[in-house]
Structure formats: C-alpha cells, structure tokens
Structure 1
Amino acid sequence: MFERIDNESVVSIVVNKIKTSIIKGELLPGDKLPTEVELIEQLGVGRNSVREAVKMLTALGVLEVKRGQGTYVVKKVKPSFFNPLLFSLIIEPKSNKDLYELRVMFDTMVLFNLMDKMTKLKFEKIYNLLAEVEDNFKKDVHTIDYYVQQDLEFHKLLMDFTENALIKQIGEVIISLFPEYIKKSISQENGIKRSIENHYGIVELLKHKNKSGVNELVEKTLREWKLEWKSAD
C-alpha cells in the first residue's frame, strides 16, 4: 500500500503518507490500517516513527486504536484534516516560544472580537459551563482529563461566540496543539482552581468590555505554562 521513504522528518512523512492514502480513497472511513510491522516494512521506517505518527493522527481524530483489534480510520474524518495550511501547522516542529506567541496572539484576537458580540444568552451558556466545572471541583469529582476537556470546551465556546467560521476553524486546530500543556499546568498545585479563576476573569472582562485589560489577562492565563517551559530550556 505504501512506498518506502527516506529519512527526512520521518514522522511527518509517515503522517502525510497516511493522509494521502485517505484522500485518494485507498484508505476509507472505517478501514483497518496495516499492522505496525507491515507499516515498518512498507515504509522502511523505525517502530518509533510509526507509533508517533499513529499517536499524532489519533490525537487529531483521524485514527482510532481499538485494543486487541488494530488501528482504524475513523468513520468521519474532520474536514480541517485536509486543509494543507492547518495540517502543516499541526505536524511541523514547533518551539514552546512559537506556541506561546501563537496562543497569546490568537486568544487576544478572540477576546477583542467578542467585545461587541456577547449577548445575554452567550453569557448564560458560558457561566453555566463554568458553574458546572466549579461545582465538580468543589465536590472533588472527575479526573484531570475531565478538567483538560472542560478547559478546551471553554475556549471552543468563546470561538463559537465570534460567529466567524474562519476563526472557529483555525482556532480548533490551534487548541488541538495544547491538551498536554493544559494537563501539565492544571496538574500543578492549585492548578484547577487557578484555571477556573482565570476563566471567570475572562468572562468578567468581556462582561465589562474591558479592552485595556485583555493583554494582561491573556498573559496571566498562560503564565504558569510560560514559566514551566522557560525553566526547562
């Protein structure tokens, strides 16, 4: 099914090979991928490269691993997977600094965009989301993964509120880069509490149309992550 490839950006190339097979219809929704050993032989790459590529495509919602059965193409692949610009954003190597600057720029833009678009219904929706998360936190229920997902849902809701299809499409891809970073941040001492407080702060800023406070608040919400990767450099 696949041609052998040279050793350049191997994981990215494996990802692109699988993507091309899906686009060409060689792999259809619901189809099972060749086994790990078969992929290694067909592509001429190492086991780690195949595993990383599968892991990446699984995180993107393109593949699903069924324990004891194998790896399959999901029955409905997200349209953003086929957008060359967005796809390259996902698979190309990125530094923490690049990601931080991208996130600050995007979050800032979204908040400025929302200043004159928020309605009573939108505020009700986002306050309900935050109230549910806060209530579960006080009851000490759910795992860290639940709070990661709710963090993502909060930002997706903000993107929905822009009523801008391009912002939502690009934003979903940007957000997909961050689950691991969010998990590290909220796993720290008082991390979940701090995340909830930051989200309430964002909503209050929108409620009062406080444009002058946007930059400071966005940097505050990402401060723990910035400190973490800077200390690791």
Structure 2
Amino acid sequence: MDYAPIKKQRVSDIIVERIKDSIENGIIKPGDKLPSERELASSLNVSRGTVREALSILEAKGVVEVQSGKGVFLLQNSQAELFRLLNATFREERTDLLELLELRQSLEGQASFFAAERRNEQDLENIKQALERLENSVCTNQVAAQEDYDFHMAIVEASHNSMMVTTLRMISEACIDGLQAARSEAMLIPGKPKVVLQEHIEIFQAINEANPEKARQLLIHHLENVKRQVIDFV
C-alpha cells in the first residue's frame, strides 16, 4: 500500500480513512494483513505509538484483529459492515474526546481558581517543576502527553480539594489518551506546540500571582482552544 503523508487532519482519523480508501479500492480485502506499524508510521509521517493507538481503537471496535507474531488483519466482515464500524469509530472517538474536554473544563477551571487561592510554596514548586518538564519535552519535539497531564494534576492537587484530585486520577487514562491525540495533532501545525506551552505558562503565572479568576479563565480558555483544534481536525 502506498500512502501519502498526513496533512492537517486528525491523526487517528487519517489512519482510518486510509484503511477505508484501501478497502473501497480493493487494495486490501477482508482477511488481508495490514502494513506493519513501521510501514504505516513511515508512510503517514507519524510516530509508531500513534499508529499503535489507532490500531488498538480499530481492534476494540471489531475492525481489525491482532494476531500475535503475525500482524494485524482486517476482519472477515462484509465491506458494508466494515464501513459501518469504521464510521462509528470516527463518531465515537470525536464525541468521547469533546465530552472529556468539557468535563475537564468544569473540573480544572474551578480547581485552578482554588489553587490560586490556596496554593502554598510546595504547590508552586510542584507546578513549576511540571511546567519545566513539559517545556523540555516540547523543546525536544516530544508529544509530552504525560508531562501535560502532570502539569494539570499539579494544579488540581494545589486546589487542596481531595474530591477533585480523586476525580482527575480516576479519568487519568482517558486524559492521557486524549492528550496524546490532541498534542500529536498540534505537532502537525507549525508553531502550535509553543503556543500551547505559552498557555500553560500563563496559567502558572496567574496561580503564582494568586489571581483566582484569571487562573480559572485562562485554564478554561486553554481547554476551549483544544476543543476547537479537535473540531477543526474533523
């Protein structure tokens, strides 16, 4: 299979689109083996981790089957059924991520307000260190999903609201998966990772200045920008 490099579109969606195109054009048929992670990553100009995540989603939705030691195979469904499953994957992935961001806006917006009111010196140091790790990862062109999550968690911990901390920890896996997708897409837009980093810096500054309302507004605005990016990549 010969794939063109990814342009400005959702990374996981592009992989699904290429599989759909290949099915429609008869390049791959139900039961056929897909290209390897390495081949897909090279053709699409993305990381193998991103390809692996997309294939995991397709496996969970019943589109492909991973056979240990052999590779990834398109399931033996009819073409119409495969298209139905692939289209459902598009809709569910977008909806899940947007709903997660709405939840985070509500939770983390108020947490940042409390953090600016209640933070102590150790809290500030924790947030600062998380920000420095995020900045280092951005400067070395890493996706930095874990570092982004750690920064937001440090803010929620600085709220000194145990229920908020517990809630964010409960959805940590979904948050990191969402950050992986959003930040991978941001890396396809020239200069975007540094713009996002600056948003994090400004949130920290507002908390450091003990300005609760500014911190809340900046964090909500930051996540709203992520939502717009997700929608733009549809």
Instruction: Calculate the TM-score normalised by the size of structure 1.
Output: 0.52
C-alpha deviation, 1:50, in angstroms? 8.6
Deviations 1:28-65 (A, max 9, x none): xxxxxxxxxxxxxxxxxxxx9992179xxxxxxxxxx9
Mark the CA change 1:175 to 1:121 in structure 2 (over 3 Å): closer, same or farther. Answer: same
1:152 maps onto 2:149 in alignment: yes
Mark the CA change 1:100 to 1:232 in structure 2 (over 3 Å): closer, same or farther. Answer: same
1:212 maps onto 2:227 in alignment: no
C-alpha distance in structure 1 between counterparts of 2:136 and 2:230, whole Å: 31
- Residue of structure 1 equivalent to 2:107: 106
C-alpha distance in structure 1 between counterparts of 2:109 and 2:223, whole Å: 12
- Which SS does the other structure have where 1:209 is aligned? coil
C-alpha distance in structure 1 between counterparts of 2:229 and 2:196, whole Å: 15
- Residue of structure 1 equivalent to 2:48: none
- Residue of structure 1 equivalent to 2:37: none
Deviations 1:88-133 (A, max 9, x none): xxx9994555333222111211112212221112212222332344
- Residue of structure 1 equivalent to 2:17: none
C-alpha distance in structure 2 between counterparts of 1:225 and 1:164, whole Å: 25
C-alpha deviation, 1:198, in angstroms? 1.2
Q: In structure 2, list runs of 5 or more residues that go unmatched.
A: 1-55, 71-91
CA contact (8 A) 1:115 1:209 kept: yes
CA RMSD of aligned residues (A): 3.7
Q: How many residues align?
A: 153
AA aligned to 1:169 is T
Q: In structure 1, list runs of 5 or more residues that go unmatched.
A: 1-47, 55-64, 70-90
Mark the CA change 1:99 to 1:169 in structure 2 (over 3 Å): closer, same or farther. Answer: same
- Counterpart of 2:159 (choices 162, 165, 169) is 162
- Which SS does the other structure have where 2:189 is aligned? coil
- Which SS does the other structure have where 1:106 is aligned? helix
1:225 maps onto 2:226 in alignment: yes
Instruction: Calculate the TM-score normalised by the size of structure 2.
Output: 0.52
C-alpha distance in structure 1 between counterparts of 2:118 and 2:106, whole Å: 19
AA aligned to 2:59 is R
Mark the CA change 1:231 to 1:129 in structure 2 (over 3 Å): closer, same or farther. Answer: closer
Give the structure, 1 or 2, with the largest relative contact order (CA under 8 Å, sep 6 or more).
2
CA contact (8 A) 1:129 1:154 kept: yes
- Residue of structure 2 equivalent to 1:51: 59
Mark the CA change 1:117 to 1:223 in structure 2 (over 3 Å): closer, same or farther. Answer: same
C-alpha deviation, 1:217, in angstroms? 1.0
